[in-house]
Structure 1
Amino acid sequence: MRTLVRYGYVPFMLLAINGAGITIAASGGSKLWLLGLLLLAIASSFVAERVLPYREEWNTPHDDDHRDTAHATVNETLTLASLIVVPVLTALTPFDSLWPHEWPFVLQVLAAILVADLGITLVHLASHKIPVLWRLHAVHHSVKRAYGFNGLMKHPLHQTLETAVGFAPLILLGLPTPVAFALALCAAVQLLLQHSNVDYRVGPLRTVLALNQAHRFHHLKWAGIGDVNFGLFTLIWDHLLGTYSYDPERRFTSDDLGMAAKPNYPNDYLAQLAEPFRASGACTDEPQPEDVTHRQPDAATH
C-alpha cells in the first residue's frame, strides 16, 4: 500500500482526478460532479498522508484544523463565485477570437494552465517583494506543518488577487467557461499536492512540476531563503526567473517552517484576516542562519 501511494498518488490526482474533471467539463456535465471530484481529491489527500506521511507529526492538528477548514471553505466559495462571472467578462472582451477554440479540449486546458501559472507566479513573487502584498501573503506562510489543506489556506484578498491576475489574460482571450471550470479544479488539486504531507516520488519531474518536494523550500522560515519556487502548476517560470532551488539531501521539520521574524503570528481565522491591517502585520527582516546549504536568492523580505 505504501509503495502504491509513493508512486501512484500523484498520477491518480493529476491524471485520474483532473482527467475526469476535464472530461466532465468538456461534455458539459453537471458542475456538481466537479465538486464531487474535489471532495474525492481532498479525501484522497488525507488518506495518503496517513498511509505514507513525510512527517508523522504533521498529521496531528496544531490547533489549526478548524482554521484551515474555514480558509478552504471561504476560498473555494470565492473561486466558485469568480467562475460564475467568467461568461459575462468574456462576452465583453474584443479579443475572444484569439482563443484556440479549435484545439482539443485538453490542450485548451493545458494552455490555460501555463498562462495562469505565469500570472500566479508573478503575483506570488511580487508578494515576497512588496510589503503591502506580503502582509496579505504572510497568512499562508504562518503554517507550522505542511499538509494538503495548507494549500487552500490563504487570505481571501490575496487569493482574489492571484486569481484575478492569473485569469485576466485568459479572460481577454475569451476563455470558455468549461475550460475555466476545469482549470479551477486542476488548481485545487495542485494546491493539495503541493503542500501534501505525503512522501511520494515523481523522479525527474520534481524539477518541472511544482510539487511538495520543491515547494517545501518555499516555506523555509528565514528571510530571503524561502523566496524560491513560486510556481503553482510548474517550475518552468522559476527556472526562467532564476528563483528555482532544490537540495535533495534537505529534510524538513516544523522548526524550519513559519516566519522567523513573526513566530507568534495569530492562529485564529478571524485574527488572521485582520492581521494584515494591523501595525504588527508589517514585514521585518530576519538574519539568515549560517547552516543553510541550498542556494539563497538575493531578496530578503520575510
Structure 2
Amino acid sequence: MDTTTTTLVQRITRYAYVPFMLLGLNGLGILLAGSGAPKYWLLAILAVAIGASFLAERIIPYEGEWNHDLGDSRRDRIHAVVNESLILVSVAAIPVLAAIVPAPELWPDGLPFAVQVVIAILIADFGITTVHLASHKIGLLWRFHAVHHSVTRFYGLNGLMKHPLHQTIEMVAGVAPLILIGLPLGVASALSLAVAIQLLLQHSNADYRVGPAKYLLALNEGHRFHHLKWAGIGDVNFGLFTLLWDHLYRTYSYDPERRFTTEQLGMAAKPDYPVDYTRQLIYPFKPTGRFTP
C-alpha cells in the first residue's frame, strides 16, 4: 500500500471509526434487539466491534508501544471473557428478577425502542459513574477497583480489565434502578452491547477524532486523564457513556496539550501491583492490598 493510500485510510479511520461503532454497530444492535432477533446476533456484533477496535488501533495508533504485549495480553483476555460473561448473565437474569420482584409499570414502553435504549443508557450512566467516583474515595471499593488502574498501556481490552466483584457492583448500580422500574429484556440486551462497545472506545489506543463531542462523550481522549498514575490527579472523568455527571460533580478535566506514555499510567503507590490474573483476584483480600487511592 503506497503512502497516499495509507494516509487516506488513516484519515477515514480517524473520523469514521467512532460513528461506525457508536451509531453503526449500536444502531444495528438496537434494530435486532427491538425486532426480537436471537441474542447471538448481538454477540456477533460484539465480535465485529472487537475486531474493528484492534484494526483501528493498528491503523491510527495513539502510542505504537501500546499495541505490543507487555506480559498482559493473556490476563486481559481472561478479564474480558469473565466480565463480559457477567454482563450477559445479568441480562439473562432479568426475567427471573422481574418474577421475584414485580416492577411497577413505570417503564416508558410506549416510546420508540431506540429512545428506550437511550433512556436506559443515561440512567445506567448515572449509577455507574457515581459508583466509579465512590470507588476512588472509599477504601474498600478502591481495593477492588485498583485492579483496573494497574494497567500500564491503554488499549481496547483494558475496559473490561476489572475485578469481577467490582464489575458486579458497577452493574448493580447501573442496572438495578432500571430493573426496579420494569426494564424490558430487549432494552437490557441492547444496553449490554452498548456498554461493551463503549468500553472498547473509551480505552482504545486509536488516535481518532470526535470534535467538540469530546467534551460531552466519555471517550479515550478524556479518559486517559483518569488513568494518570499519581494519587489525586487521576480522580477525574469518571463517566462511562457521557461526561455530564463529571461536569456536575466538578470532576471533569482536559488538557489538549497533554501527551500520555506508559510511564504516566498505573499506580505510583503500587508500582509492583500483580500482573497475573489469579493474583489480581486475590490481592484485594490481602493486607498489602489495602492502600490509599
CA distance in 1, matches of 2:283, 2:222: 28
CA distance in 2, matches of 1:82, 1:208: 28
The residue identity in structure 2 corresponding to 1:184 is: S
CA distance in 2, matches of 1:65, 1:27: 36
- For the 8 Å contact 2:103–2:179, the answer to whether it is kept is no
Displacement, 1:11? Answer: 0.2
CA distance in 2, matches of 1:108, 1:89: 20
Q: Report the equivalent of 1:169.
A: 177
* 5+ long unaligned stretches in structure 2: 1-8
Displacement, 1:280? Answer: 1.3
CA distance in 2, matches of 1:101, 1:40: 29
Normalised TM-score (structure 2): 0.96
1:205 has 2:197 as partner: no
CA distance in 1, matches of 2:288, 2:99: 43
Structure 1 ranges of 4+ moved more than 2 A = 90-96
- For the 8 Å contact 1:93–1:173, the answer to whether it is kept is no
The 5 Å alignment of 1:1-302 reads 1-284=9-292, 302=293
- For the 8 Å contact 1:93–1:174, the answer to whether it is kept is no
Task: Please give the secondary structure, in 1, of the residue aligned with 2:147.
Answer: helix
Identity of aligned residues (%): 64
* 5+ long unaligned stretches in structure 1: 285-301
CA distance in 2, matches of 1:229, 1:90: 33
Task: Please give the secondary structure, in 2, of the residue aligned with 1:96.
Answer: coil
Query: What's the C-alpha RMSD, in Å, of the aligned pairs?
Result: 0.8
Displacement, 1:94? Answer: 4.6
CA distance in 2, matches of 1:27, 1:204: 33
CA deviations on 1:172-191 (whole Å, 9 max, x unpaired) are: 00000000000000000000
CA deviations on 1:123-166 (whole Å, 9 max, x unpaired) are: 00010000010000000000000000000110000000000110
Task: Please give the secondary structure, in 2, of the residue aligned with 1:259.
Answer: coil
Task: Please give the secondary structure, in 1, of the residue aligned with 2:146.
Answer: helix
CA deviations on 1:76-97 (whole Å, 9 max, x unpaired) are: 1111111111112223445431
